[in-house]
Structures are given as C-alpha cells and as structure tokens.
Amino acid sequence: MKYLIFLGFMIGTPLFGQMIDENALFQQETLITEAPPLTNTPSKGVFLTGKIQSQFSYALQKDKLTHKESQATNRFSHGIEGDIFIDMRQEEGYKAFVDVGFLITAGGIPLLHTFIDPLTMTSFSVIETNTIILQAKEAFVDFPLFHLFYLRLGKQYLAWGTTYFWNPTDLLNRERKTLTKLTSTREGIWGIKLHIPYKTLLNWYTFFDMTDTQTLENIALASRIEAVLGNTEIGLCGWWRKDWISVYGADLSSRFLDWDIKAEGSVSYGDNRPVLQEDILSYGPVTVTNYTLEKITNAWVYRIALNFSRSWELWDVKERLSTMVEVFYNSQGKNDHLFENPTKTQVALLSGAYVPHEYGKWYGLVSLGFRKLFLTELSSQTYILCNIEDKSATLSQTLTYAPLDEVQASCGVVWYTGEEKREYTTTETPLVFTVQCVVRF
C-alpha cells in the first residue's frame, strides 16, 4: 500500500512544481520547512564556517556529598570540541555540504574495538584510549531536478517533528536529544530526502532511510505531508519498514492569545521497542535471573507530546522573559523499579528496552529564560526535566555572557535530584559544574 501512495505522489509531482530559490530552500536545517519565495537568485562558492568550544567540567561524587570522610574522588575534565562546516554551492541550488565534528580531551576517551581473527574466524575486543575523535556528522549533496523535485542524498540530520524535546513522530534519527547538549549539532543518518513544495501552502517530504542497511528490501520509508491553514500548520506522517510495525503520526503548530502551541503524537498497533521480562530460575539452592525480550503485537501504542511557549515583555524590554512547558505521555510507560538493579538497567539499555527520558509514562519539561539580565550581553536559561511518576528530575541552570554574536562564555550547574535509585538519580555524580567558551566563525 505504501508504494502505491508513493507512486501517486510521483505522478502528481508536476502539479507541485514551482520556480523557486533552491539556495534558500536548502539552507534550512529542518526537514519541515515552508517553500521559499518564488525567486531564483544564483550563488556560487565554497564557504568554510564552524564552531569551536572549550569546556571544563567538575563532577561531585554522590558519596563525597553525603559522607564528609569519604575517599571518593571528584572528577574533572577538560576538552575542546566543535564542528567544521564545508558548504560548496553551485548555481540554481546545486550544493554539497560536510559537517566534520571533532573532540579533543585532556584525559582521553576509552573506545571499544572489535576485531576478527581471519584464521580462526573468532572475534576479540580491545579498549583503546583516544584523545582525538573525528566524526562525519553530515555529508550530503543537494540536487534539484526540473525545479520540481528537491533531492538531498547522503548522511543528513533530519529535524522531524514540531515539539521541543520529545518527538514521538521521529523514528528516523538514532541520536536522541539530551538536556545537556540541546544546542549541539547531532549526527545524521544515511538516506535520500525528497521534497516537493507547493508555494507556502503545502509540502510533501519523503525519506528513504539506508542506515545500516545492505539490502533494498530493508530500507525504511518515512513520508510526511503538511499544510498551512492560516496561522496553523498541520502535518500527517507515516513510517514503514519490512518486518517492522508501521507507525503513523500527526502534528500541529499554532498560536493562540500570544501562546505558541505545538503538539505531535504517534500511534501503532504493536511496538517496535522490546519489553524486558525478568524471570527467576531456580536450580536447587541456586537462583539465576534471566532476562528475555518480548515484543508487543496485539495492543495499540501511542505517544504524545504537547508544548506551550510564550515570550513576555519585562521592564520595557520585549521578549525579555521566555517560558515553555512541555509534557510527554507514553502509553507503554513503566514504573517497575528498573533502576534499582544496575544489571537489569544495563541489559535494558543495550537491548533498546530502555530509552532515556521515555521509559516512564509521564514526563515534563519546564524552561525559563531571561535576556538582558543586568547587562545587555548577559542571559540565563533554566531547565527542569522530570520523570513525574518516579519523582526524579534533572535541573540545569546556565548563565551566558555574549559580548559578540560569534563569541560567548557560560557557566552552569546540572543537578540530578529526587528519590533514590530512580531514572535521574542513578548517576554517581549528581552534581556537575561546567564552564565553556564558544567561538563561531
């Protein structure tokens, strides 16, 4: 059925074709965008930009905080990380783009390597400590066809979804969002994106996901169509893959009484995330705990995110105060004391049964931001992320000084708090201080 839908869109493509500015179109990082104005301004050149960030962190051990005579050692780290963007543009929207991410640390990062002995065909693993890590986060080519199709081929990051932190409709990106790296660039996935716009009223996107796939029949397909009705944007999407459970979703973005309202949700009959089952086996006086994975195949599964945000005028400065509240609901969420057993937690994480920030049933995120705090260049940002059911939370407070648009320095603190042995209180370093300096070019 999905291939018939795809064929129908392909046949109807000429109806969507417009003479538009491909350069403006492909400057957008998000997958969900409005079509650009009906112009065709040529541009050509190679552009090198990027971001370099120096970061210090000091993490306090839990035992050190609770016992004055503890022998635990607090952890300190220092590193340089960033991204180098290479943007190669030809006329009429033809473009190539590469994002090379790097990380250089003073203490090194342990990396696990697996090798295969060609004589015995057995595998063995070694751990190597590297101080320099390079990663190609994105590498793609933009190729417009006949001013009708807009193709992006290669490794690319997709901003699929409308809400801020949780995106139930995003089944494409492997790298999940984290509270401590919300502004960092994320690793893309391999595939082909097709965009067919109709003015600023209608957009159709399709993505063929080829990550970790060696056969054509195992390619995943995701498609989305969106329409703009007044100040409201509505989207419908679906995700399909052979031998996997299909997932369908919808989202909207609107504005009401100065509030920006965004919502999105997914629904499927069954779930692609496994459920971890714990079985205790007895062998005489010895008991062994066995973990097995089960798949939900006979129940409706839905996940919903709802976001409200607004900026406020304060002390005669517009948008000085910004507020946001986001709530996430997972119909298959659990509160089964997973985090009281470190072995069970590790098994759940490695098997995909545990997805950070989405394991429970109810979550919430509150954000509070101030601009021009005492000084024009000074701002602050506060986040509170909580698992509502197990009563644990992450608190993040950052103070930023930006003397130039391309330069900023910040200091922050991250505090994991709540009841013991819950999702956000399993860490051995519940209090982390950070200082960072960022230069963009």
Count of C-beta atoms within a 10 Å radius of residue 402: 16
Residue type present at position 9: F
Count of C-beta atoms within a 10 Å radius of residue 97: 20
Cα-to-chain-centroid distance, residue 39: 33
pLDDT attached to residue 42? 52
Percent of the chain with pLDDT over 70: 90
In degrees rounded to 5, what are phi and psi of residue 138? -145, 145
pLDDT attached to residue 118? 75
pLDDT attached to residue 351? 87
Residue 4 in this model has a pLDDT that exceeds 50: no
* DSSP one-letter string for 363-418: EEEEEEEESSSSSTTEEEEEEEEEETTTTEEEEEEEEEEEEETTEEEEEEEEEEEE
Between CA 295 and CA 275 the distance in angstroms is 6
pLDDT tens-digit map of 150-188? 999 999 999 888 999 999 999 999 888 888 888 889 999
Residue 132 binned pLDDT confidence (cut-offs 50, 70, 90): confident
Beta pairing partners, 285: none
9 or 193, higher pLDDT: 193
DSSP state, 184? S
Between CA 53 and CA 55 the distance in angstroms is 6
Between CA 289 and CA 393 the distance in angstroms is 30
Helix (H) / strand (E) element for 343: namely helix 342-351
Which segment of 92-96, 111-115, 249-253, 404-408 scores lowest on mean pLDDT?
111-115
pLDDT, mean of residues 37-62: 80
Beta pairing partners, 87: 47, 97
* DSSP one-letter string for 36-85: PPS------EEEEEEEEEEEEEEEE-HHHHH-TT-----EEEEEEEEEEE
Residue 32 in this model has a pLDDT that exceeds 80: no
pLDDT attached to residue 29? 38
Residues 6+ apart with CB under 8 A from 346: none
pLDDT tens-digit map of 385-434? 999 999 999 999 999 999 999 999 999 999 999 988 899 999 888 999 99
pLDDT tens-digit map of 261-309? 999 999 999 999 998 888 877 777 777 778 888 889 989 999 999 999 9
Which segment of 52-61, 77-86, 298-307, 343-352 scores lowest on mean pLDDT?
343-352
pLDDT attached to residue 24? 37
pLDDT attached to residue 317? 86
Which segment of 19-23, 175-179, 258-262 scores lowest on mean pLDDT?
19-23
Report the alpha-carbon angle 412-406-53, nearest 5.
Answer: 50
Between CA 26 and CA 199 the distance in angstroms is 15
- Contact between 397 and 417 under an 8 Å Cβ cutoff? The reply is no
Report the alpha-carbon angle 374-379-383, nearest 5.
Answer: 130
Between CA 56 and CA 107 the distance in angstroms is 12
Residue 20 in this model has a pLDDT that exceeds 60: no
Residue 11 in this model has a pLDDT that exceeds 60: no
- Contact between 240 and 221 under an 8 Å Cβ cutoff? The reply is yes
Which segment of 21-25, 350-354, 388-392, 412-416 scores lowest on mean pLDDT?
21-25
Which segment of 22-36, 111-125, 372-386 scores lowest on mean pLDDT?
22-36
Between CA 398 and CA 136 the distance in angstroms is 29
- Contact between 380 and 401 under an 8 Å Cβ cutoff? The reply is no
Residue 187's region, left for phi above 0, alpha for psi from -120 to 50, else beta, is beta
DSSP state, 162? S
List strand residue ranges (DSSP E) for 146-231, in order.
Answer: 149-156, 189-198, 202-209, 220-229
pLDDT attached to residue 212? 84
Which segment of 5-19, 149-163, 262-276, 327-341 scores lowest on mean pLDDT?
5-19
pLDDT tens-digit map of 189-226? 999 999 999 887 899 999 999 988 888 889 999 999 99
Residue type present at position 140: F
Residue type present at position 131: T
User: Residue 44, class by beta-carbon neighbours within 10 Å (0-12 exposed, 13-18 middle, 19+ buried)?
Assistant: exposed
Residue 103 binned pLDDT confidence (cut-offs 50, 70, 90): very high
pLDDT, mean of residues 432-440: 96
- Contact between 141 and 113 under an 8 Å Cβ cutoff? The reply is no
Residue 41 in this model has a pLDDT that exceeds 50: no
pLDDT attached to residue 315? 86
Between CA 98 and CA 409 the distance in angstroms is 27
Percent of the chain with pLDDT over 90: 56
Between CA 196 and CA 149 the distance in angstroms is 6
pLDDT, mean of residues 8-29: 37
Between CA 419 and CA 340 the distance in angstroms is 11
Please, what is the average pLDDT of the chain?
85
| Sole residue written with tokens 């340089």 | 80
